[in-house]
Structure 1
Amino acid sequence: MNRLIRYVFKHKNTGRIETKRCYLSQIETNPTEALAPLVNNADYDLISRDLCFDEEKGVFVGDLINVTTWFGNYIASVKFGEYEQDGSGDEYAPSKCFGFYAEALIKTITDKDGFEIVPDYLVQNSMRELESYKRIGTIYDNNEQREES
Structure 2
Amino acid sequence: MQKTLKVIVGGEGNVGKTSLVRRYARGKFSQARQVTLGIDITTQEFRIDDSPVKLAIWDIEGQSGNRPVFYLGAQAAMLVYDVTNVQTLERLIEWYRRCREFAPDAGLLIVGNKADLVPTFPLFWGRVFARLVQAPHAVVSAKTGHNVRSAFEFLATTAVRRATRQPA
Computing the radius of gyration over CA atoms, which structure comes out larger, 1 or 2? 1
Structure with the larger strand share:
1
Q: Shorter-chain-normalised TM-score: which range?
A: under 0.3
Structure with greater contact order relative to length (CA < 8 Å, sep ≥ 6): 2
Q: Normalising by structure 1, what TM-score?
A: 0.26
Structure with the larger helix share:
2
Q: Normalising by structure 2, what TM-score?
A: 0.24
